[in-house]
């Protein structure tokens, strides 16, 4: 157990809908990262937050957005969902701002039908 929690574990929804994925980092970690992993694919970095502020952006679609709250938990919002958005979504956390040891949560499996 990495100490990073994610909810829900599974999510099934229809095209065009909007969903929110939630992540709580390890105690003491200030950075949260979101990744997308499609079937048999690698991990694609989406976005990083540090202590409530956006710090780095990857290949995140405009239909996706995220935020980190004062208690440091983070939410990833996915809207106007398409079939191709079906994937595993992981969040990871680390202590500081600089790239370093990242600990992953168990992931949310999103299925868009």
Partner 1 sequence: GENVEQHPSTLSVQEGDSAVIKCTYSDSASNYFPWYKQELGKRPQLIIDIRSNVGEKKDQRIAVTLNKTAKHFSLHITETQPEDSAVYFCADGTEKLTFGTGTRLTIIP
Question: Considering the rule CB under 8 A, would residue 41 count as an interface residue with partner 1?
Answer: yes
> Total residues at the site for partner 1 (CB under 8 A)?
22
- Per the omega criterion (within 30 degrees of 0), is the bond before 8 cis? yes
Contact pick of 42, 62, 71, 83 for partner 1 (by CB under 8 A): 42
Q: What is the DSSP string of 69-103?
A: -TTS-EEEEE-S--GGG-EEEEEEEESSSSS---E
Question: Considering the rule CB under 8 A, would residue 33 count as an interface residue with partner 1?
Answer: yes
| Contacts with partner 1, residue ranges (CB under 8 A) | 2, 33, 41-45, 48, 55-56, 58, 90, 98-107
């Amino acid at each position: 157990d990495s100490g990073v929690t994610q909810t829900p574990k599974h999510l099934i929804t229809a095209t065009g809908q909007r969903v929110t994925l939630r992540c709580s980092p390890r105690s003491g970690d200030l950075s949260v990262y979101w990744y997308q992993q499609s079937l048999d694919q690698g991990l694609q970095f989406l976005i990083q937050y540090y202590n409530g502020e956006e710090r780095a952006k990857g290949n995140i679609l405009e239909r996706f957005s995220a935020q980190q709250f004062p208690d440091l938990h983070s939410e990833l919002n996915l809207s106007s969902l398409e079939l191709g958005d079906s994937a595993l979504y992981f969040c990871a956390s680390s202590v500081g701002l600089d790239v370093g040891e990242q600990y992953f949560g168990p992931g949310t499996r999103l299925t868009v039908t």
